[in-house]
Structure 1
Amino acid sequence: MAVDMFMKIDGIDGESTDDQHKGWIELVSISHGVTQPTSGASGTGGRTGGRADFEPFTAMKEIDKGTPDLNIKCAKGEHIPKIEVHLCEAAGDKHIFMKYTMENIIVQAVMPTCSKGDIKPIETVSFAYGKIKWEYTELGQDGKPGGSTDRTWNLETNKQD
């Protein structure tokens, strides 16, 4: 399935003209990860885990009208209350099958990249966050949305909400 991705950042407008995501930022790619550091086997034979490491949420996008604001927020270390990212089917009814919602965010980095001959420069933006919610909606064989599952992790309390 081909995928379209959109991001809404509180206080920063994008240029999307998509019916469901007007004014959002269109994304080229995203990456995000959670890892659990473990030690070798303990005296009881089991591995021990620690506090999970949450990688920054990184989005690649074309440079757009939100670029100056992202750079200023990064430079000032200003908090962003909320960011939403939607992953949608690229064709048909464009059902949203994955949502990421982050709260208490700081822009960690804004890194533009441009090469000779590029149609439009892109930039990679990394976000550190205090809370993240993952919400997945199943899409049936007919492409219609089914049941959904969501989970939230609060990095500030190191607990599931």
Structure 2
Amino acid sequence: MSFDAFMKVDGVEGESLDDGHKGWVELLSYHYNARQSISQTASSSGGATAGGVFLGDFQISKYVDRATPKLFELCCKGSHIKNVTIRIHRAGTEKFKYLDIVLEEVLISLVSGQGADQTGLPTEAVSLNYGRIKFEYSQQRRADGGSAGIVSGGWDRTANKPFA
């Protein structure tokens, strides 16, 4: 299944001309991870015990565009960004928004030029470190393509508790 992905960064203008995402940054891909440390010491019930969660940086790849200089500058300055929103749509004639990922209290930890991809256009990778992350998934009804409900979840790494 193909998808369309967009990113909105407070104070940064992208080049998307997509209806509903004008001025957002168009993404080629994204990556995130959460890793739970597991203790080798068994609990009183006999199973392994959980330690603490490690949240890796949220990583995106994109073509070089008008957002590139500003993202680079924000990384170099270590500027705090209040919000970054990543929006994922199923591609097609009727786009269906099925995932929003909102990052709060963000620092850009990496901007890395990649040269050209198979299209011959230069790309870059950007890593985002964050204080809070929230996922909002919209399930799509198979019968008519409408929304079948929303599931939310997230984590506040500064308070070490759920954030939804």
Q: Where on the TM-score scale, by shorter chain, does this alignment land: which range?
A: over 0.9
Q: Report percent identity of matched pairs.
A: 35
Task: Give, as a single letter, the amino acid of the residue that structure 1 aligns with 2:156.
Answer: N
Aligned to 2:150: 148
Q: Secondary structure at the match of 1:151?
A: strand
Matches within 5 A, 1:23-62: 23-42=23-42, 44=44, 45-62=46-63
Change (3 A) 1:40 1:117: closer
Residue 10 of structure 2 aligns with which residue? Answer: 10
Aligned to 2:127: 126
Aligned to 1:83: 84
Q: How many residues align?
A: 161
| Displacement after TM superposition at 1:46 (Å) | 2.2
SS in 2 for 1:102: strand
Residue of structure 1 equivalent to 2:138: 137
Displacement of 1:92 in angstroms is: 2.1
**1 CA distance for matches of 2:120 and 2:82?**
33
- Which is worse superposed, 52-61 or 136-145? 136-145
Distance 1:12-1:116 versus aligned 2 partners, 3 A rule: closer
CA contact (8 A) 2:14 2:65 kept: yes
Superposed CA offset, 1:8-55 (max 9, x none): 000001000000111100000000011101022426322121110101
Whether the aligned pair in 1 keeps the contact of 2:84 and 2:103 (CA below 8 Å) is yes
Unaligned runs of 5+ in 1: none
Cα distance between partner residues in 2 of 1:33 and 1:26: 21
Distance, in Å, in 2 between the alignment partners of 1:147 and 1:70 is: 34
CA distance in 2, matches of 1:117, 1:31: 20
